[in-house]
Chains A and B, each alone.
Chain A
Amino acid sequence: TQLLEQSPQFLSIQEGENLTVYCNSSSVFSSLQWYRQEPGEGPVLLVTVVTGGEVKKLKRLTFQFGDARKDSSLHITAAQTGDTGLYLCAGAGYSGAGSYQLTFGKGTKLSVIP
């Protein structure tokens, strides 16, 4: 069974600070997606990374896919209150049972305090 461990589980920071969220697994993924979810809504896709070592930037957000395609990180520079939400990573790949699945981490709940 594929597992994605996200850390930290909770993060509370002041506006303007930097932060990094980690997503780790012992499994290799074909691609890794990052989502942000706000209360009462479905997750919204932020980025997809496909190639080992790939780095993608989305304004103040930087996403990195590990060289071995087993882990990823999300770095936010100068956090704003609008960044508050649940950040989820999801890896696409074959499970132990042989079916192709999208496996989600349990998420990092980020609170940015003004």
Chain B
Amino acid sequence: KAGVTQTPRYLIKTRGQQVTLSCSPISGHRSVSWYQQTPGQGLQFLFEYFSETQRNKGNFPGRFSGRQFSNSRSEMNVSTLELGDSALYLCASSLGTSTLGEQYFGPGTRLTVT
């Protein structure tokens, strides 16, 4: 079974721009969660989507948004990028039968904001 895939793997953007990251979950998994990982703050939960609906949300500003499609694929968007948004963005999928159950992570997208 193929794992979680994320595209692109690396991205460089300029402050003020916006960015969209993509995630394809493991086949059969209906929940997709997004996380931000930085050296200072560690791994922080952004949001979880299940059946095209945001089921849970972390403590991030409204510049961070996401969506999920009918095939469970998900996208995350960050608008008006700031230098502090530079991070590894990880997507994880799970069966979805229990909220934020066992997470299967992708390799991440490394975003650098200059």
CB neighbours (8 Å) of A35 from chain B are 103, 105
**Stretch binding the partner chain, chosen from B14-22, B51-59, B62-70, B78-86:** B51-59
Q: Are A42 and B102 in contact (CB under 8 A)?
A: no
Q: How far, in Å, is A52 (CB) from chain B's closest CB?
A: 18
Q: Which of A40, A90, A107 contacts B107 (CB 8 A)?
A: A40
Give the total of A residues in contact with B, Cβ under 8 Å. Answer: 24
Q: How far, in Å, is B65 (CB) from chain A's closest CB?
A: 15
Q: Are B42 and A104 in contact (CB under 8 A)?
A: yes
Q: Which of A102, A103, A105 contacts B103 (CB 8 A)?
A: A102
Q: Closest 10 interchain pairs by CB?
A: A42-B105, A104-B43, A106-B42, A102-B100, A100-B56, A101-B45, A92-B100, A43-B105, A102-B45, A42-B90
Of the A-B pairs whose beta carbons lie under 8 Å apart in the complex, a sample of 23, sorted by A's number, is: A1-B59, A35-B105, A40-B107, A42-B90, A42-B92, A42-B107, A43-B43, A43-B103, A44-B105, A45-B102, A45-B104, A48-B101, A90-B103, A92-B99, A97-B59, A100-B56, A100-B99, A101-B45, A101-B58, A103-B45, A104-B35, A104-B45, A105-B42
